[in-house]
Structures are given as C-alpha cells and as structure tokens.
Amino acid sequence: MDWPLIVLVVSFLFLLLLNVPIAFAIGISSLLTIFTIGGLPEFMTVAYKIATGIDSFALLAIPFFILAGQLIGQGGIARRLIDFANVLVGRYPGGMAYVNIMTCMLFGAISGSAVAAVSSVGGFMIPLMNKEGYDRDFNASVSITAATTGLLIPPSNVMIVYSLATGGAVSIAAIFMAGILPGILMGLGLMVVAGVISVRKKYGKGVRFGFKEGIVKFFIAIPALLLIVIVLGGILSGVFTATEASAIAVLYALFLSVFVYREVKISQLPKVFLQAGITTAVVFMLIGTSMAMSYVLAHENIPQAISAALLGVSDSPIIILLIINLLLLFVGTFMDMTPAVLIFTPIFLPIVTQLGVHPIHFGIIMILNLCIGICTPPVGSCLFVGCGIAETTITKVIRPIMPFFLAMIVVLFIITYVPQITMIIPTALDLF
C-alpha cells in the first residue's frame, strides 16, 4: 500500500472540505506526505521547492499582466470596448448578450484575466442588461462563461504557467498564438447559445449607433485595441519577449488610464498597485506550493504509475484524450487553474506526447478544460464573482448556465479532436 500517496490525497481533500485556502491545502498536504516518506528534511524541502518554484524569469510576466489588468479594469478601457462591440454586434436580437461576449473576448486579449473580465465587463454589462429586460440569471451566465475566453486568447497568465510546467518545451509565444482560434471558437459557441435563448425569449437589441457615431466609437476604442497589437506584434516580431511585453503593457495601460481616458487619478495608483501586489502574492503562493506537490508526486513515481495505468486501458489517442478530458473536468471543479496546470502537466504530458499529441495542442486542451472548471461550483472563481455582481445565487444560475456549459464542452471536444485549429497559427509562424 502506497502510504505517501494516501496521505497526500486524503489530507488534501480533508483540508479542502475544511475550506482551507487551496495554496495552504497544497502546501500542508505536501508537507505531511514528506513526513510520511521520511529521510528528507521536511520543512526545508517544502520551503526550498516553494522558493525555487517561483524563481523563473518567465514568471515575471505574471505580476505585470496582473497590474495591466487592474489598470485596464479601472481605467475606462472596458467601457470603450463595450461601445466598440455594440457598434459591431449590438444591432441584432439579443445584441446585449453578443456585446457582453465580444467585449470579454477583447478585454481578455488585453488583460488575460477571467476574473478581471467578469468584474469589469460584467460589472457594467449585467446592470445594463437587467435594465433592458434581460433575465438576471441569464446575464450572469453570459458574463461568467464569456470571461473564460480571455484565458485562451493571449496574453494569458495560465499559458505562461503551462510553459513553465513543460520545462520550456513549449514557448510562451507558441502557446499564445495557439490559443487565438480556440478562443474565438469558444466565443462563437457562446454567442450561438445566447442567440438561440435571446430569440426564444424575445430579448431586445443593443444600443444602436448611427454610422457617424459608430465611426467615433471605433476611433475612441483604437488606443485600447492598439494594446493587443503592441503586445502580440512585439512578441511575434521578436522585438521583445513575453516578459518584456508585459512590462510594456503596464506602461501603455497606465498611459491610457491616467492621461488619455483620465479614469484613474494619480492619487489612486497606490491602491491599484497594492491590489495587484495582493493578487500576485496569491498566484505565486499557488505556484510555489504546487511545485512542492509536483516534487512529492515525482518522488513517488506517481506520473509513471498513472501513465502505465492509462496506457494499460488503451493505446488509442481518442480514448486516452477522452479519459484525460473527463479527469481534468473533474479536477477543475475543485482546484484552481494554476496548481492544476503545474501538478497535472507533468503527469499527463508524457502520456499524450507518447501517443503523438503535440505539447502545444495539449496545453490548449488542458486550459480549455480548466476554463470550464472556474465556472462551476464549489470553487469556481468566475462563478462566485459573477453571481456577486449580478446579485443572485449560484443555485439560481446553475440552470440557465447549463446551455453555455454544453457549448463549452462541445468546443472542447472539437479542439481536442481537430488539432489543426490549435496548430495552424503556430505552424504558419514557425514557433517551434
């Protein structure tokens, strides 16, 4: 009987049931497991793995993108994107839902944060949709699920974490580019569901702009849209790395928020920086403790055991990917994205690469799975934030959000079994 594995699983699940924060649950369960293994300096090992786990130049991009997201969320950029999306899709029945989804896609392409998208876009769109006669729980469902597109459309913090988890086998630029088409496909899938529901319930159109006013709204949004061009264009052209791009994104977002749109006062900046620092601390604590758990799993040869068990079931990529998808969907319901990526990438990546699945393709599969998880109870961050903004409850939202879950799962399986969607842009740009 493998006692260390039993101690790891039981202690981790027990701590989660006690509502212990996920980072501490991971760290404490890893420490208890090392006690069980014996022969190792317990506290020193955990502390060392936490310290070395966050000692990476690539991870410097995360606090910068978090700060850029804070500035974007409070700097009036979201409202300009909403007006721009309204010009494009607001004229159709259910237009406000389309505007919500498209704005989340654009916002995610700037901030790379799902929670920031729910807070900023949902905070503006949900009350507006309520006022226009849309059902409150439908509005919350749209905002919660649409926010996840920002984790697929670059830049994305979780993509940086995945690149780290692969040991550099996947470059940040490659995984960034691979997420563009899957992110757009996800947004279109959500729009189809929103459109069907809107027509059935006879929801109205969005704000209609005349031609001249539409042109004005477009030009007002151009400075915000340029941030996408600057970040992605700079990375692809080789002018700067993803880490340098994140710092440039901060400077540009700061310039827009303070001097162009003038939504953030200089006196408010310390509060913005503090909030970004708090969020960064949480993310890096998750990364550090997850690296400690990954060490414990590797020490006990758990990845090899799981690999042998899965390959013993079947050697068909179709079956193995189906099993992994189901496992990741389950994991996503109770574990945050960052630790899930760091812990399960070393377990599943060797299995799928042995079956001919490209690491870039698998990264998008994993991230898409976990995107669904942050919209589901009991620990879905987007679900809780969206329900709070909409002033509703999870119980009321579960039923209207189910069609959107179904759309996300359909997109997941399309992406899983049609790798060309993921690989076409990295291949065309030769990012291997």
135 located within any domain: yes
More confident residue, 273 or 82: 273
More confident residue, 86 or 348: 348
250 located within any domain: yes
Measure the CA–CA gap between 249 and 228, rounded to whole angstroms: 9
Confidence label for 422 from pLDDT (cuts 50, 70 and 90): very high
Confidence label for 208 from pLDDT (cuts 50, 70 and 90): low
* Number of residues written out for the chain: 432
265 located within any domain: yes
Measure the CA–CA gap between 187 and 154, rounded to whole angstroms: 14
Specify which of 52-56, 222-226, 338-342, 418-422 reaches the highest per-range mean pLDDT.
Answer: 418-422
Q: Is the pLDDT assigned to residue 404 strictly greater than 90?
A: yes
- Would you state the pLDDT for residue 39? 65
10 located within any domain: no
> Looking at the 3D structure of the chain, how many domains does it have?
1
Measure the CA–CA gap between 378 and 389, rounded to whole angstroms: 18
25 located within any domain: no
Specify which of 229-238, 248-257, 401-410 reaches the highest per-range mean pLDDT.
Answer: 401-410
159 located within any domain: yes
- Would you state the pLDDT for residue 392? 86
Q: Exposed (0-12), middle (13-18) or buried (19+): which is 190, by Cβ within 10 Å?
A: buried
- Would you state the pLDDT for residue 75? 77
Average pLDDT over residues 297-309: 82
23 located within any domain: no
Q: Exposed (0-12), middle (13-18) or buried (19+): which is 232, by Cβ within 10 Å?
A: buried
Tokens of 154: 């670059």
Mean pLDDT over all residues of the chain? 86
Indicate whether this model's pTM tops 0.95: no
- Would you state the pLDDT for residue 241? 83
Confidence label for 80 from pLDDT (cuts 50, 70 and 90): confident
| pLDDT over 90 percentage in the chain | 22
Which residue range(s) make up the domain with 68? 41-428
- Reported as a single tens digit per residue, the pLDDT across 235-246 is 877 788 888 888
19 located within any domain: no
Q: Is the pLDDT assigned to residue 68 strictly greater than 70?
A: yes
